[in-house]
Amino acid sequence: MRLIDWSSLDAPGRLAALARPTSRGETRVSDIVREIFDDVQARGGAAVADWSLKFDGFAPRRIAITPAAVDAARDALPPTATRSLRIAAENVRVFHQATRPEDTPFFETTPGVRSRLVWRPIGAAGIYVPGGTAPLFSSLLMQAIPAQVAGVRERVVVTPPAKDRGVHPAMIYAAAEAGLDAIWLIGGAQAIAALTFGAVLDDGEIPACDKLFGPGNAFVAEAKKQASARPRGPAVDMPAGPSELLVIADRDADPEIAAADLLSQAEHDADAQVILVSESRANIEAILAEVERQLQTLPRADIARASLGEGRAIRVRDMAEACEVANLYGPEHLALQTVDPEAMVERITAAGAVFVGAYAAETLGDYAAGPSHVLPTDGAARTIGGITTASFMTSMSVQSVSEAGARELAPVAARLARLEGLEAHARAADLRAR
């Protein structure tokens, strides 16, 4: 990790210090994704299958979540694992049921003019669950359950095949906990293209979806971006690319805990980025030494080392400046390991999720706390939040006007319409005021 003295940098230098890995925006990624999209739009399922064979060596396959499949998955997992999955699923469900948007009552803005907001689920959600190097069944729970709570009629889940071309039993069990009837083994940009255009495959049909969800690598993130830019293309949840974690650790923070949190994100992906911010040079050095010590026994040490090459250790004057760094970066995950973390939350304006205090491991949020771990990356947290039940819904205003209300408000609307030069608008209002 590169050590940076924040106070010595000018404005351009500070932006450069917080730059994301350049590989996320490489031209080759954009070009490959565009080629895949053009091919799938032209040839449909045949193109999806060809690209899957090219990248994964495996044709797309639909895995039905039948009682027999669930029983086999349960038998293949330790009882402690299935119990943990059930607890995590229940926590996710409880949180999203509690935070599901409710229709508002009518509000009367003018006598006889009443309006309210109502919420409706989207029709079809395309849910991408990362996989391949690790079966991220937690991402399935964190997306499919909020969609279920929202009332989405059709949830289409895609995930890359495992290295053995199969599916991890935990993914089957998680799908059952989320109430899914099937998942598709298909990954990468070709999976996003299938969700965008729809695809008829040997095992069935993937419908074109109204909105796409889920994190992924640089190719998946770029595919979602291109999908939403296509004419009549689907909406997307947010930029959700390789993982990010910024840890603010004051001079009293535990180096072992801070290092463990940094490595928990670094092991995700070589393109993941971790940043340490502290006012204490001594604690920065202690944390980095602890990172190196813990790396020695990590199974995914090579991936973590590649990620740490894009990491930063930033020394600031004080905790107020640390918050400024965090807000400028807008991290996907923000860990506050300080003496008074609750007070710092008030200073934070841009983060996908905030983990308050030494006990609030980001890992708890990744798996079982309840809120979805699908969060904005690449600085999008400055304007976009993470997945909630509302992400799978749309809101509509409903307006009800009585005859008396129209007579009261129509002249106002007509005058404003004529001020904008829209005579037909004005006449439509005038008719209600006769």
**Each residue of 75-133: pLDDT tens digit?**
999 999 999 999 999 999 999 999 999 999 999 999 999 999 999 999 999 999 988 66
Q: Indicate if 302 and 318 belong to the same structural domain.
A: yes
Q: What is the spatial distance between Cα 406 and Cα 357, in angstroms, rounded to a whole number?
A: 55
3-state secondary structure (DSSP) of residue 80 = helix
Domain count, the chain: 3
Residue entry with tokens 């049921």: 97
> What range does the domain containing 425 cover?
402-432
Residue 322 maps to which CATH number? 3.40.50.1980
Q: Which sign, positive or negative, has the C-alpha torsion 20, 22, 27, 31?
A: negative
Q: Indicate if 66 and 164 belong to the same structural domain.
A: yes
Q: Indicate if 222 and 305 belong to the same structural domain.
A: no
Q: Give the containing element (helix H, strand E) for 318.
A: none
Q: Indicate if 93 and 125 belong to the same structural domain.
A: yes
Asked whether residue 386 is assigned to any structural domain, the reply reads no
For residue 239, pLDDT over 90 is answered with no
Q: Indicate if 118 and 178 belong to the same structural domain.
A: yes
For residue 16, pLDDT over 60 is answered with yes
pLDDT score of 26: 66
Q: Indicate if 295 and 185 belong to the same structural domain.
A: no
Q: Indicate if 15 and 140 belong to the same structural domain.
A: no
Q: Indicate if 246 and 234 belong to the same structural domain.
A: no
Asked whether residue 189 is assigned to any structural domain, the reply reads yes
- Find the mean pLDDT for residues 344-369: 95
- Find the mean pLDDT for residues 366-390: 94
Q: Indicate if 213 and 65 belong to the same structural domain.
A: yes
The count of residues in the chain is: 434
Q: What global pTM score does this model have?
A: 0.90
Q: Indicate if 91 and 159 belong to the same structural domain.
A: yes
Asked whether residue 380 is assigned to any structural domain, the reply reads no
- The domain boundary, picked from 220, 238, 256, lies at 238
Residue 24 pLDDT class (50, 70, 90 cuts): low
Asked whether residue 343 is assigned to any structural domain, the reply reads yes
Q: Looking at the annotation, which residues are catalytic?
A: 332-333
| Average pLDDT value for the chain | 94
Asked whether residue 199 is assigned to any structural domain, the reply reads yes
Q: Indicate if 103 and 210 belong to the same structural domain.
A: yes
Q: Indicate if 252 and 220 belong to the same structural domain.
A: no
pLDDT score of 25: 55
pLDDT score of 270: 87
8-state DSSP, 162: P
pLDDT score of 307: 93
pLDDT score of 120: 98
For residue 166, pLDDT over 80 is answered with no
Residue 352 pLDDT class (50, 70, 90 cuts): very high
For the beta carbon of residue 154, count every other beta carbon within 10 angstroms: 13
Asked whether residue 133 is assigned to any structural domain, the reply reads yes
